[in-house]
Amino acid sequence: MDFELTEEQRLIRNVVREFAQGEIAPRAREIDETGEFPWEILKKMAELGLMGLPFPENYGGAGADTLSCLLAIEEIAAASGSVAITYNAHLSLGAVPIYMFGTEAQKQKWLVPLARGEGLGAFALTEPHSGSDSAAMKTRAEDRGDEWVLNGQKMWITSGSVARSFVVAAKTDPAAGVHGVSNFIVPADAPGLAVGKDEPKMGMKGSPTNQLYFQDCRLPKENLLGRLNEGFKQFMLVLDAARITISAMALGLGRAALEQSIKYAQEREAFGQPIAGFQSIQMKLADMATELEAARLLMFKAAVMKERGERITKIAAMAKVFATEAADRVCWQAIQIHGGMGYSRELPVERFYRDNRLTLIGDGTSEIQRLLIARHLLKEV
């Protein structure tokens, strides 16, 4: 087993780390405080070729492998959770479904501009009354002969107010349950689509999250993504892969909290010595580092299995639930190590904690990840 990164993986990680620490980290606090959308940062990320990182060059991408993309997401998250979730939703939820299930014409029309960074992608599955229970969605797409007509409402859509295009799940055969769902590519300017206000949130404040309202929203027939009534299966596959990327976000936020804590523990003095001299602080730092290392290994394994084309539902759920909850504990301890300053908005650890909290909820809650793991275990025995 080889735990060394390839030269290309190291290069991508180093380039993104330099960019994230040089251009994103210095602005992260301001982005969190103003909630302003960081368009200039995303423009620079497009110039670096990051917005299409995993896609082949003929679709405007850079052809990077799974692990390289995870390393890039981790580095961006270590600088700003808001930029990381915007980037991650764009790649893993907005663009990947088109790459995985789109026709050649759809890829040219919708994927290429996303990969080139000419606009952001987003994914609309959740509704006011259906989150974990996504099969209970009410949004409907009716076949009106020469077009599709969508009616319904989506909720908690990352980049709702800034996206160029959405992949939207809707019922096409309501009586057929999970076998009656299809996905559609919906441009942000589709007639009949309205976007709600930016939701006020605990963290990820520079990432707008919105409701979408579809009222007789008309779409050309060619905007159906993949086969009719196979939408549920499609977004389950998309979410499997996306869950590994959430583990990368949590790793980035947790790592940043640990690095900040190591620095602070060596600088801050109490009882005549740096607090790093106290064993109780050392134990905390050791546990934080060990948990993040274990999370990293799960993420690596999930990445290797995905790259080999293996089924990743169980390992991706394990990587997500472990990394996100490990990062939650790490950020919690980071605040404790910082004492009163941990609770202050002057230092970034409280932001890491708030931003990371989302990773235990989005793309399937911790409870749903455990259900998926258990289902696989019980089927396996």
Ligand X SMILES: Cc1cc2nc3c(=O)[nH]c(=O)nc-3n(C[C@H](O)[C@H](O)[C@H](O)COP(=O)(O)OP(=O)(O)OC[C@H]3O[C@@H](n4cnc5c(N)ncnc54)[C@H](O)[C@@H]3O)c2cc1C
The one-letter amino acid at 277 = G
Contact with ligand X (CB under 6 A): which of 80, 86, 88, 158?
158
Closer by beta carbon to ligand X, 37 or else 156: 156
Nearer to ligand X, 187 or 277 (CB): 187
Token pair, residue 168, equals 């939207």
Which one of 9, 66, 126, 211 is in contact with ligand X (CB under 6 A)? 126
Span interacting with ligand X, options 65-73, 119-127, 141-149, 333-341, rule CB under 6 A: 119-127
Question: Whose Cβ is closer to ligand X: residue 6's or residue 132's?
Answer: 132
Query: In the bound complex, which residue of the shown chain has the CB atom lying closest to ligand X?
Result: 131
Using CB under 6 A, count the residues that bind ligand X. 24
What angle in degrees, to the nearest 10, is found between the helix axes of 279-307 and 313-337? 160
Q: Is 124 in the site for ligand X (CB under 6 A)?
A: yes
Contact 251, 197 (CB under 8 A): no
The binder of ligand X chosen from 51, 71, 368, 372 (CB under 6 A): 368
Residues 257/349, Cβ–Cβ less than 8 Å = yes
Q: Tell me which of 131, 180, 231, 254 binds ligand X, using CB under 6 A.
A: 131
Instruction: Render 296-328 in DSSP notation, one character per residue.
Output: HHHHHHHHHHHHTT---HHHHHHHHHHHHHHHH
* Closer residue to ligand X (CB): 153 or 223: 153
At residue 381, the 3 state secondary structure works out as coil
Alpha carbons 7 and 368: distance in angstroms, whole number: 36
The smaller minimum CB distance to ligand X, of residues 122 and 265, is found at 122
Nearer to ligand X, 93 or 162 (CB): 93
Contact window for ligand X (CB under 6 A) among 34-42, 154-162, 261-269, 289-297: 154-162
Residues 175-204 interacting with ligand X (rule: CB under 6 A): 201, 204
Query: Which residue lies nearer to ligand X by CB, 204 or 295?
Result: 204
Burial 64-89 (b: 16+ CB within 10 A, else e): bbbbbbbbbbbbbbbbbbbbbbbbbb
DSSP secondary structure code for residue 161 in this structure = T
Q: Could you tell me if 100 and 235 are in contact, meaning their C-beta atoms sit under 8 angstroms apart?
A: no
Which stretch of DSSP H or E encloses residue 114? helix 112-115
Asked whether position 135 contacts ligand X by CB under 6 A, the answer is no
Beta strands 120-124; 163-171: pairing state = parallel
92 in contact with ligand X (CB under 6 A): no
Q: Does position 209 bind ligand X by CB under 6 A?
A: yes
Structure tokens at 171: 């019922």
Q: Could you say which of 71, 91, 112, 157 contacts ligand X (CB under 6 A)? A: 157
88 binds ligand X (CB under 6 A): no
Is residue 100 left, alpha or beta, with left meaning phi > 0 and alpha meaning psi from -120 to 50? Answer: alpha
364 binds ligand X (CB under 6 A): yes
Convert 121-132 to b/e letters by CB count within 10 Å (16 or more is b). bbbbbbbeebbe
Q: Does 89 bind ligand X (CB under 6 A)?
A: yes
From the list 156, 214, 232, 322, which residue makes contact with ligand X (rule: CB under 6 A)? Answer: 156
Q: Does 132 bind ligand X (CB under 6 A)?
A: yes
For ligand X, which residue of 123, 148, 214, 264 counts as binding (CB under 6 A)? Answer: 123
| Other beta carbons within 10 Å of 332 | 15
- Give me the residues that bind ligand X (CB under 6 A), please: 89, 93, 122-126, 131-132, 156-158, 201, 204, 209, 358, 361-365, 367-368, 371
